[in-house]
Amino acid sequence: MPGALLQGLGKWWRRYKYRFVPWIALNLGRNPRTLRYVPVELKDKIISDEYVLETLLRLFRALFINDFYKQSDVLTVLPEPVQSQYHDLLSVRHPRGSPPEYRHHGSHIVKPEEILYETLGFSVACTTSSLVSAGRGVFVSRGSAPKGTVVSMYPGTVYQKYEPIFFQSIGNPFIFRCLDGILIDGNNRGISRVVYRSCTGRDRLGPLQTSDCTWLTADAQNPLAVGQYVNNCSNGPPTSATRSWTCPRPSRWS
């Protein structure tokens, strides 16, 4: 029995150590896997920043308009040119109702995943895999996503490479390390959850939220905020990820 337990712990550690920040720091020069080496013939960025921005703006505009009756207070503090753009978009989509009238019609609100499908032609869902012991993963639940399409964002607290993340990394399989050394903690539980909520409250500008906390709940308003559950089963370089622009940077801890 003790031998089986030790063998199980050893197997778990061999998988987990690549996400344990202190171990990564001590072994950067000794293990190629910690360096995330990308062969010359491969490009880490397979789609342009302009395409990513255009895709996200299309989706977020559609989400904003769909939830307009809740967003009207936010709209009033935006510059006049920005307000006029959203009012123009709303009048095109709902020509029979003005924005003030529309805000009272909650029955028109559809689920974020439906907006994703209507805007980009597909929707994604995070659910348990049908494969034994495969855990949770992200699947295209409706429509199709062509190669090179933005299919998810990696939500979480963004840490600069010089900022401490020791305690958050313990037992945390959701630490994502980017090529530039930036770390993203996409865990929605424990101390990671507390840190994210703390940063959200700190950086809030009156009625304007600088980050989205709904991905911490079962009712996520951003249907793409499932990147932390995307699995990469290839033996090559890890799949590329776009850092979530809705994530606050944590305070520096002494």
Q: Select from 222, 85, 245 the least CA-distant residue to 93.
A: 85
Quick check: is 18 in a domain?
yes
Dist CA 42 CA 232 (whole Å): 16
Inter-CA distances, 204 with 70, 78, 191, Å:
17, 15, 20
Count how many domains the chain has. Answer: 1
Quick check: is 66 in a domain?
no
pTM of the model: 0.70
Quick check: is 138 in a domain?
no
Quick check: is 169 in a domain?
no
Quick check: is 75 in a domain?
no
Contacts of 139 (CB under 8 A, 6+ apart): 124, 125, 126, 127
Contacts of 176 (CB under 8 A, 6+ apart): 154, 156, 183, 184, 185, 186, 228, 241
| pLDDT by position in tens, the chain (length 254) | 677 888 888 888 877 776 677 777 777 666 555 555 555 555 567 788 899 999 999 999 888 888 877 777 777 777 888 777 776 766 655 544 444 444 444 456 789 999 999 999 999 999 888 877 777 889 999 999 998 899 999 999 999 888 888 888 888 989 988 877 889 999 999 999 999 999 988 888 777 778 899 999 988 999 999 999 987 655 444 444 444 333 333 333 32
Q: Domain limits at 23?
A: 1-30
Dist CA 50 CA 241 (whole Å): 15
Q: Are 211 and 200 spatial neighbours (Cβ–Cβ below 8 Å)?
A: yes
